[in-house]
Chain A
Amino acid sequence: MMTAKWLASASAPALALALTLSTPARADVSIEDILKDATTTNDVVTSGLGTQGQRYSPLKTIDKDNVSQLAPAWAMSLGGEKMRGQQAQPLVKDGVMYVTGSYSRLWAIDVKTGHEIWQYDHRLPEGILPCCDVVNRGAALINDKVIFGTLDAKLVALDRKTGKVVWTKEIDDFKGGYSYTAAPLIVPSKAHGPLVVTGVSGGEFGIVGRVEARKADNGDLVWSRPTIEGHVGTLDGKPSTMTGKKGESWPGDLWKTGGGATWLGGTYDPETNLIFVGAGNPAPWNSHMRPGDNKWSCSRIAIDPETGEIKWGYQTTPNDGWDFDGVNEVVSFDLNGTKAVATADRNGFFYVLGREDGKFISGTPFVEKITWAKEIGKDGRPVYNPDNRPGNPKDSKDGKKGESVFAVPSFLGGKNQQPMAYSPDTKLFYVPANEWGMDIHNEPVTYKKGAAYLGAGFTIKPIFEDHIGALKAVDPATGKIVWTYKNRAPLWGGVLTTGSNLVFFGTPEGDLKALDATDGKELWSFNTGSGIVAPPITWEQDGEQFVSVLSGWGGAVPLWGGEVAKTVANLNQGGMLWTFKLPKKLAAAQ
C-alpha cells in the first residue's frame, strides 16, 4: 500500500526523468550512415544490413566456438490478439530498435531492456484484403524519421523520438485492392536529397506495376517508373520516358494491362548508383494468350535514382506460364573483381549478372528436379521444356480444362520473399530454398465478383519425403551447391551471415539456428515458441554482439494445402521479438 502510493505521487515526473536519462541521444540517420551500413557494426539502419542487401555483418564476437552458449537477453511480445505472420527485419540505431509487425504496427524499443518506448498502431479500414495475410516486412530509417508502408497502401513517416506521424502519403487506393508490405528503400539523389523508393502491392488483376520515389522530407512524389512496355513514367510531375517500346513483346493491346507488380521492394548499389527492383508475373494467367516475352514481367530492372530511367533489364522467365514472379531481391557482390549481382529466382535458377549492364554471366539451378526448363542457355534465356508448360484449354478434348502438368518448382518458388545472404569471406551465397512442385493447369472458369474469369489451378506437392526447406550454400563463380541444410517445413524467413563464418536463419518450426558457413553443420538452435518467417540481424552494443529475430507464424504459408500443410500442421501463431547475446563472462573471454 505504501509503496503503491509512493509511486502514485511520484511516478509521472520520475518517469519523465527516467526516460530522459535512459534514452540515448538520437542522432539523425544520414544518407552516409545508410550507404555505409554494411561496414558499421553498432547499428542496422537498412533492410538487408547495407543497401546492397548482402545481409553480412563483419562482427566476430559470436563465433563457432562460443555460439553454443548464445542465450536470450530479452524478448518482447507484440501483444494483443493480433498475431499472424511476423516478417520484418528489425532496425537498430543509437540503442533503439525499430520493428514492424502484423496489422501495420511499428514499435520503438530500448535495446538494453527490451521495453517498448512507443508504438504506432495504424487504424486499418475494416474488411480490407479479404484473402491475404496481414504482414509487414519492415521499416526504413532516414534523418529523424522512420517510414513504413501499411496494408491500406499508405506510406507513413513517423518521428523516431515520439512515434508521431510527420507525413503520410497514399501509394494507391486500397479499394482498388492495393496494399503495401515491403520495407521502403532509401537512396541518395543529388537533385532531391534522400528518396524513399517503393513499389506497389496488390491492385486489381492486370494493373501495371511501377516503382516510385518520394522525397524523404515530405513524401512528395519525384518520379514513377512503370514496369511494363509502352507505359510512360513521370519525373517532377511531368511525363518522362516510355518503358521499352509500346507492346514490343506483347500481342495486341495486352501490354496495357500487363501486370508486373513490384511488391517486394528493392536494393541499391552505391558503386553503380543503381536501384534494383523485381517485377511480378504478367496478366492474364494463360500464357498461350500472350505469345511473346511480355517485358518486363518476371524481370529485374536497374533504375537511375535521379530520374527513374531504366538502365538495364533482365528477364528471368519470358512468357511466364507458371506464376514465377520475378520479384526476388538482387544482391550486389564482387565476383573475382567483376562488379556483379546475383538473384535466386522463383523459377529455381540462380542468376549472376553484370551489375553495370545486366549482362548474363551464369544461370544455374539451386533447387533439384527443375522441370519447366532444361537449363539457362548461353544467351541467358531459358531452354524450355515445351511439355511442361500447362496446356492450352482450347487444345483439350472438352475445351474446359487445359492439360495438367507437374512442374518444379511450385509457383511459391525455389525461393520466395525470404532474403538470402552473401559472405565476402566464404564467397558463398546462402539461399533459403524450398524443394517442391505443383500440379498446374489453365482452368477456364473461376469467379470474381460473380463474373466468370480465366484462372489457373495449382496443387503444391513436396518432391522429397523428408524435407521441403533447404538452405543452400551456392558458389556464384561455379553455380555449385557447396552444402545443403535440410528442413522439414518450407523455409520462409531470411538468412544472416557474419565475419566469424556463421549463418543464422529461422524455421517455421520456430527454431533460430546457427550453422557453420563453411560446411552447413548446425552449431546452435533455440526454440522461439512460434514459427520464424523473418530475417535475423546482428549488431554490437557497448562491446557486446546481439542477434535479434521476430518469431510469429503466418504469412502465405498457412494457406498451403495438401501434403505441404502436413509439415506445418502443428505450428502455432505468435508475435515475439527475441534478442540474444553471449553471457558476459564468455564474451569477455574472447
Chain B
Amino acid sequence: MRLLASTFLLLLVSGAAYAAPPSDPLGSPMWADMVERVLEGGEVVFDDKVKVVVPSIVENQAQVPVTADARALPGVTKLVVFADLNPIQHVLTLTPGKSAPYIGFRMKVEQGTPVRAAAQTADGVWHVGSVYLDAAGGGCSAPAMARNEESWSTTVGQTQGRIWRDISGLARARFRIRHPMDTGLARDNTPAFYIESVKVTSSAGAPLATLQMFEPVSEDPTVTLMLPLAPSDGAIDIEGRDINGGLFRSQITAPWRQSNVVVPRG
C-alpha cells in the first residue's frame, strides 16, 4: 500500500517512473530521499570508481577533510557531494568541465553520517561512492569561529592559494576564501550566510570549473581542484559569490611563471 501510493504519486507528478534505486550498503534511512532530492532522478549505481576519502577519526566536526575523486570514471559531467544525516545534506556540486572530477575540501558534520560522492556521466547515470563517517557531532550548529571576531566583515572574501603542476599534467590548485559560511542553525540566531558559487577561469578567460556550495562547507572554504591549466597560462581567476550578493574576485599566479622550469606542452 505504501509503495503503491508513492509510486502512484510519483507517476502523477513527474509522468515518468524512476527505476528503484539500489539498496544502500550503509543502510541509511535517508538514502531513498537523497536519491530523489539530491540526484533528482536518473539511474543510480554504486560504483567503486568513485572514491570518498575521509579521516578515520574526526578531530574537529567543523573542519572534516573530504576528498571526492571520480577520476577513474571517464566522462563525468557533474560531481555531487552530500551527507545523508546532516541537517543540510547537499554539500557541494562540482561541474568540472575539462578539469578532473576531483575535489578536496572541508565540511561540517552534525553527527556520524554517510558521506557520498555521486558522479554523473553523460548518459545521465549517477555513479555513487559512499563512506560512513564516524563523528561526535555539533559542527553545523556551533557558531562560526568568526562569530567573536567583529572584523569578519573586513576580511570576508580574502583569498589565498597556490598552484602546483601535477604528475597527471593537470594543475593542482588549492585556495582558501575567507568567509564565515554560517549555516543559519547556530543558536545565536545568525542567519545563513555562505558562498553559493565559485567560478574558476584561466587568466586568458577560459572557463575551468564551476562549484556550487552550500551551508555544510566549512568556514573559510579551502578547496583543491585539478585544472586543465595550459603551461602558457600564468594564473587562474577565482570569482566567488555569497548569498548576500557579495562578490569576491582574486587571482592566483602559477609559480612556473616565475621559475625557469620549462614545462613541455602536452
Contacts and interface: CB of A to CB of B under 8 A. Distances in A.
Given A123-B244, A168-B246, A10 B10 contact: yes
Interface stretch (A1-9, A42-50, A323-331): A1-9
B157 interface: no
Given A10-B9, A10-B10, A167-B245, A5 B2 contact: yes
A374 interface: no
Interface stretch (B187-195, B219-227, B258-266): B187-195
B13 A13 contact: yes
Contact of A6 (B2, B191, B193, B245): B2
B214 to A, nearest CB: 14
Interface of B: 1-2, 5-6, 9-10, 13-14, 32-33, 36-37, 147-148, 150, 152-153, 180, 182, 184, 189-193, 243-246
A125 B243 contact: no
A14 B37 CA distance: 12
Contact of A121 (B152, B180, B192): B192
In this complex, the interface size class of chain A, counting residues with CB under 8 Å from chain B, is 20 to 34
A126 B32 contact: no
Contacts of A156: 244-245
13 contacts: A2-B5, A9-B32, A9-B33, A13-B10, A13-B14, A14-B9, A80-B189, A123-B191, A127-B150, A165-B243, A168-B245, A168-B246, A174-B153
> Of residues B6, B33, B150, B245, which shows the largest number of chain A Cβ atoms within 10 Å of its Cβ?
B245
B190 A123 contact: yes
Contacts, number: 66
A164 B243 contact: yes
A152 interface: yes
A2 B193 CA distance: 36
Contacts of A165: 243-245
A164 B244 CA distance: 8
A13 B41 CA distance: 11
B10 A9 contact: yes
Contacts of A6: 2, 5-6, 9
A325 B180 CA distance: 39
A9 B32 CA distance: 8
B244 A5 contact: no
A123 B13 contact: no
A125 B13 contact: no
Given A8-B33, A9-B9, A152-B153, 16 more contacts: A2-B2, A6-B2, A6-B6, A12-B37, A13-B14, A17-B13, A122-B244, A123-B180, A125-B153, A126-B150, A156-B245, A165-B244, A165-B245, A166-B245, A168-B244, A168-B246
A178 to B, nearest CB: 13
A4 B39 CA distance: 22
A81 interface: yes
A127 B151 CA distance: 10
Contacts of B36: 9, 12-13
Contacts of B192: 121
Contacts of B245: 156, 165-168
